Structure 1
């Protein structure tokens, strides 16, 4: 038999175990927090400008000025990257400060139809259905717009006379071919738009005459490869846009060597699969490189070494699983690095060591199993860092701005971010501990006729009590780390205390659900098959309970067996519970899914089916008996069954749904996690004592007897005579010390003891004395005394007996029945079996007797254990 002793010993181990104890993963825990040596403030705090006043990380850039000089709200926007200042270097219309010409003035003579002129020297031929470039455009035109036409081929010398042309827009045509000398003569051209066409290749020397071109748009075409000398002549080109093409391979000599001024290159949404050293040969002047949303799976060693002048690198939304050692070591001027949304699981601890000037780092979407302080140790100028998980921010406390700044559970200040949760955790924990402790004590000190049932209830309370202890530990840690949580976040989540706390939560949840499942199945069998030959006795019940506890302990302890697979399984969040909604595919995710989607959801389904089956069986029984109390009894059963199923459903249906949503990458609010752990998960633990003990008649009566210090409890039974008068019956046992209404506990037993009972009945009409073989009824001045001369409980039909105790979940109802038969009043003991829909009196069906005697009214009934 499992009792409270081992539970208390586990609690003492956790409460007195220091949170500073090293965690399970030696590799992760060996690194110490890093703080740049030049900082005058302690870890997690930052100076208010040039003053000596320090302010914690959580108050930086929060919209409120906490420093007297307002320094905490300055430079809060992440404007890192060369792109934000590009318009200052290459001013163009619409970017930066620009004064456009007047739209109502045209300085060009003889503009051919269907084109029109505006803004002094601009010619607009867009959307006119042209199949070729117009040949009679005025030679002084500076901007020519021929987009949205049907041009398929740009012929040689199409623009040879337009030497003053600065902007040429040919986008959204059907251009498939550009002949080699198509742009000959455009020596002053600065911007060329060839995007949104059907180009598959570009011939060498196509742009040979475009020596002043600074912007070239080739995005959204079908270009597969870039040939050698394709871009020769583009000596002034700053911007090259090759997005949304079909490029799978690059050679540096194909573009960088021919474009010495190239600073910004867009290669997003192509088909590049691998980065090699030859791709960026000669690209030392390249400042911004975008390789977002390609199919890059690997980066070879030294592939990026030639990009020494790079300030902004975007490798996000690729398939990079591993970065080579020192991949970024030569990028000493890099300011912004984005490697988000890659399937990377590990980062070399020295991967970022060469990035001394890095100010913005985006790691969103990465599951970094080996994350540690060491990874960010040399990033002394890092001001902005982005993760998908708030818990990673604890590894970069020296970074001024870390996003996200909460996971819905914790914040930089507190383990429990929400003030309601901080109060509720104590309330729920105390209710659980008080309710389950009172039931355990009550069922231990009070004598129970049904020891098997009591044994299960006590173990259920022990399991629920552990959940209360789990919440008490979380509440105490929240109090200890109040306002300074981020400084100790990783220390707490990686400590043995957090792992043991999570172990308690998992153990309680699994043992509770397994106990409820077994109890529901056994009840179902008792109700539907009450005369089956085998029922569990105390020894068998103890064996089942021991197996359940061993199973729960195994399930909860298994994550301690392999740090390689499970990682920091219990320390994935501040409350140490491994539901893993924020990181559904993190270390050990299959095991977490097996527990919550496999075991627990299956158990819920079994419980639901069992109670539905029980209610259907009981309803059919009541309906066939046709008793006046059948409807009220059905309502009582239905309400209790409803609340039992409801509480189980309220716990596991939301958890199952959200776990499934997390595995499908559906968006889940971060705050839901904390509400699940503090409110939803402990529902069973808080309500089980009420449903299974505190509201049952047996427990309340026994508790009342204990308080009143007397074994005699008056029993009131309402009887109806054939004359319509109601009689009040008060009965007590004469020799056993038990009220007659508890005679139900003796059904199915052969007791040789004889029981005498006296009954005083107050009635308004005198009745004659009636003699029966075992019962005598007499009336004296309106008082009728019914005495059972000598009757034995052997006369009650036998049900299967089990040693000294009867296995009873309370569905067979034994009542003291008063039967009015004409002018005779006969009191007898009836057994109502809900399985075969019969009343039994001395081997006869009670409903047959009721038909003869016209009416049956049963006294007070009791249903225990529901």
Structure 2
């Protein structure tokens, strides 16, 4: 006679041979429920001895990877979007992009940093531009380091990554990696905003007295680094095993593109009748996850709204001024520099806007973001501007120098 067996306990470890003798078992439910214990260790041969098993339900998606012949293996729907029963990055295209974007960001931005350190400037405006681009390149280079660490972790764990996914997400290396990635992304957004505000003041109020001096620019840069450092450290301090900040992301940055349901239900037919099971998912306050939503969907959105408004006003001002006679040469230089920086700001805006839009739609419940969209967002869209920026600096500088000649 076939049997069904259900276990609902806060498991920490499943030892080898734990289910020996259950030859007639056809349905297995393993649920740790609202336990704060997240990491589950599964020993070798833990699930041996269940030849009749057909269906399994659990709240740890990794458990499905230990079975290859099950008819059904269901888990809570909102597991890590990058998760699979193999390597961290099973998609070869994504794996290649991780290395290309990571190396490109590090090499390109280091080149810009060295170039700007050696560059001699004749005016305060040029000195400010060098200062801003230097620190923007520095922040972008950290994104390259972030991508390379992830690429190395993908190689290190290989096809058995699923066994160590919990340990990776809750480990110190992932926390440091996430810190670097978040520091890079937020510092870049802040410096892009600072560059925009500086250009806005110079172009919109060409004859005004209000100007950012080199000294005030250095102060602003230092302040923004401090803010970015604090914001990047907050998730490390707040994120616990049940925070959802790292728990939903194998890439160590919890973008708010997915939501967790309030419950998980399943129904199974068997010899004993219908088995109904409802697993409530914890809805308690999770500060780190709320912090992620506020940071990416409020702070970054506000920054890019300011950037958009400033550039609209600037280009309206440029169009109006082009019809006037006797413009000062210095004003012409300010306009040229604003247009030059617009190319750099534009690429950052294009990269961040899809993430912000998808996050807003997801958290409002308007759409369900496909897993593929999440994967491409965190591996391709998020870091691509850090790889493109240094080449934009180089191209615009070369074009400017050639025109001067």
- TM-score range for the pair, normalised by the shorter chain length: 0.7 to 0.9
Q: Provide the C-alpha distance between the structure 2 equivalents of 1:551 and 1:617, rounded to a whole number of angstroms.
A: 32
Match of residue 650, structure 1, among 338, 343, 350: 350
1:540 is aligned, of 212, 216, 226, to 216
Matched residue, 1:487: 163
Structure 2 partner of 1:361: 29
User: Aligned residue for 1:723?
Assistant: none
Question: What is the deviation of 1:608?
Answer: 0.8
Counterparts of residues 220-369 of structure 1 (less than 5 Å): 359-361=27-29
- 2:388 is aligned to 687
Q: Which has the higher helix share?
A: 2
Give the Cα–Cα distance (whole angstroms) in 2 for the partners of residues 386 and 647 of structure 1.
44
* Within-5 A mapping of 1:760-839: none
Shift of 1:457: 0.9
Mapped to 1, the partners of 2:247 and 2:317 lie a distance apart of 47
The aligned residue for residue 371 of structure 1 is 38
2:231 pairs with 1:555: yes
Q: 2:26, 2:55 within 8 Å by CA — same for their partners in 1?
A: no
* Corresponding residue of 2:119: 446
| 1:569 equivalent in alignment to 2:248 | no
Q: Are 1:36 and 1:398, in contact at CA under 8 Å, matched by a contact in 2?
A: no
Is contact 2:201–2:211 with CA below 8 Å preserved after alignment? no
CA distance in 1, matches of 2:396, 2:346: 18
More strand by proportion, 1 or 2? 1
Separation (CA, whole Å) in 2 of partners of 1:536 and 1:622: 25
Which residue is equivalent to 1:499? 175
C-alpha contact (below 8 Å) 1:410/1:417 kept by paired residues: no
Cα 1:397–1:373 shift into 2, 3 Å: farther
- Alignment partner of 1:359: what SS? strand
* Higher RCO (Cα < 8 Å, 6 or more apart): 2
Give the whole-Å Cα distance in 2 for the aligned partners of 1:37 and 1:546: 58
Could you tell me whether the CA contact under 8 Å between 2:17 and 2:47 is conserved in 1?
A: no
Q: Is the 8 A contact 1:499 1:571 kept in 2?
A: no
Q: How many residues align?
A: 353
C-alpha separation in 2, matches of 1:363 and 1:664: 29
Correspondence 1:597 to 2:297: yes
Distance, in Å, in 2 between the alignment partners of 1:38 and 1:676 is 40
Contact 1:373 1:396 in 2 (8 A): no
Given candidates 85, 89, 104, the residue that maps to 1:431 is: 104
Q: Check 1:641–1:444 CA distance in 2 against 1; reply closer, same or farther (3 A cut).
A: closer
CA distance in 1, matches of 2:58, 2:299: 32
Distance 2:213 2:338 in 1: 28
Q: Deviations 1:272-302 (Å, cap 9, x if unpaired)?
A: xxxxxxxxxxxxxxxxxxxxxxxxxxxxxxx
Seen in structure 2, the aligned counterparts of structure 1 residues 361 and 643 have a Cα distance that, compared at 3 Å, is: farther
1:206-255 deviation line (CA, Å, top 9, x unaligned): xxxxxxxxxxxxxxxxxxxxxxxxxxxxxxxxxxxxxxxxxxxxxxxxxx
- Cα gap change, 1:370 to 1:663, in 2 (>3 Å): farther
Structure 1, residues 368-414: CA drift from partner, whole Å, max 9, x if none? 754342799998857644468xxx32367655554469855232111
Q: Secondary structure at the match of 2:324?
A: helix
CA positional deviation for 1:453: 1.9
**Over residues 117-162 of structure 1, what are the superposed CA-to-partner deviations in whole Å (9 max), with x where a residue is unaligned?**
xxxxxxxxxxxxxxxxxxxxxxxxxxxxxxxxxxxxxxxxxxxxxx
Contact 2:112 2:134 in 1 (8 A): yes
> Residue 662 and residue 532 in structure 1: after superposition, are their counterparts in 2 closer, same or farther (change >3 A)?
same
1:721-736 equivalence runs, <5 A: none
SS at match of 1:606: helix
- Give the alignment partner of residue 622 of structure 1, picking from 319, 322, 340: 322
Q: What residue number does 2:142 align with?
A: 466
Q: How far is 1:698 from its partner?
A: 6.4
Residue pairs, 1:70-89, within 5 angstroms: none
Give SS of 1:682's match.
helix
- Deviation of residue 570 (structure 1)? 2.6
Deviations 1:306-338 (A, max 9, x none): xxxxxxxxxxxxxxxxxxxxxxxxxxx9x9xxx
Separation in 2, partners of 1:395, 1:448: 61
> In the alignment, does 2:299 pair up with 1:609?
no
Tell me, yes or no, if the aligned pair for 1:394 and 1:487 is still in contact at 8 Å: yes
Matched with 1:34 is 14
Task: Give distance in 2, aligned partners of 1:641 and 1:619.
Answer: 17
2:323 aligned counterpart, secondary structure: helix
CA distance in 2, matches of 1:38, 1:526: 72
2: CA distance, partners of 1:642 / 1:533: 24
Query: What are the ranges of 5 or more consecutive residues in structure 1 without an aligned counterpart?
Result: 1-29, 41-332, 336-356, 628-632, 702-714, 716-859
TM-score, normalised to structure 2, is 0.74
Q: CA deviation at 1:687?
A: 2.2
| Structure number with bigger Rg | 1
Contact 1:511-1:549 at 8 Å conserved across structures: yes
- Shift of residue 695, structure 1, vs aligned partner: 2.0
In structure 2, what is the Cα distance between the partners aligned to 1:395 and 1:558? 31
1:155-170 superposed matches below 5 A: none
